[in-house]
Amino acid sequence: MSDTSPGIATIPPDDPQRRLTVARPNDDDNLVHLGVVGDTYTTLLSGVDTGGQYCLIDMYVPPGGGPPPHRHDFEESFTVLEGEIEATFRGTKSVVRAGETVHIPANAPHFFRNASDAPARLLCICSPAGQEKFFEEIGVPVATRITPPPKPDEAAVAKFRAKAEALAPKYKTELLKPG
């Protein structure tokens, strides 16, 4: 029974069209693994799975890996599962270790890198969903969750950067100049 009194919100009925999603990143052949900026990203839950509310991305970040400075019009959180990253938020660096979470508010300039000598594994949540589509457009398919992307030459890096810059506005993202 739901209460329809003024000021009391009711929750909508169950939507039987939506399905349970179980993501198994190590052995699900239906998951796509993408090489992006030298890292490997696996979308575990897309906006299709979550009704557009968020996406969940498994990120394998080798030593020295991580995206360049950027900002975007959506919330983003990282939980470090293995290793550690150095997150830079509005110019301030923080080390985030296994078991810890960092949240980046929408529109704030930030980036992260794996400054250690061991790979890091993160779960990234973006809300609302959409960032996974950006990665699909700019990424290179790789075989597994931990397969490194091919090493690009200078021409490939320039082509990638131009493509990412051209697509960024479509995904409410701005790539920033390194500080």
5 confidence band (pLDDT: 50, 70, 90)? low
- d(C-alpha 34, C-alpha 19), whole Å: 25
- The three-class DSSP label of residue 62 is coil
**Higher-confidence position of 138 and 178:** 138
Q: Report strand pairing: 55-61 vs 84-89.
A: unpaired
153 confidence band (pLDDT: 50, 70, 90)? confident
Question: Please, is 4 exposed, middle or buried when counting C-beta atoms within 10 Å of its C-beta (0-12, 13-18, 19+)?
Answer: exposed
pLDDT at 141: 95
Closest CA to 106 of 157, 60, 171: 171
What letter represents residue 58's amino acid?
D
Contacts of 74 (CB under 8 A, 6+ apart): 106, 126, 127, 128, 130, 131, 172
149 confidence band (pLDDT: 50, 70, 90)? confident
Cis check for the bond before 12: say yes or no (omega within 30 of 0): no
Question: What is the overall mean pLDDT for the chain?
Answer: 93
Highest mean pLDDT among 10-24, 118-132, 136-150: 118-132
